[in-house]
Amino acid sequence: MIEMFGLKNCDTCRKARKWLAAEDLDHRFHDVRADGLDAATLQGWIDAVGWEVLLNRRGTTWRQLPDTQRADVDAASAAALMLEHPALIKRPVFRAGDQVLVGFGEAQQSALGS
């Protein structure tokens, strides 16, 4: 089963959910804002893909953070920020077996569909 993590109002997440259903892939959606996200799950993602891949620096949530929080971000501070502000996590995040995929491009679709 594919676990998909994201936000229910995110356009990319909605597109990914529709694609998973159309491909008839067994999946479960987890809204990181409404359902929460534990530190162990986030750390597993960081270990798998790196915090730099997970941290969304292009969104409004990042731009609204004070400069002091955005300066000198490292693994520990990035993890704390993503737990406090789930919208800072690039979306969607897929967990399929021991594989963690971030985003919804052709590479992710190919990996999920195989």
Active site residues: 10
Locate 95 and state its tokens.
């967990």
Write the single-letter amino acid at 18.
Answer: K
Write the single-letter amino acid at 94.
Answer: F
CB burial string 65-75: b at 16+ within 10 A, e below: beeeeeeebee
CA distance 3 to 74: 27
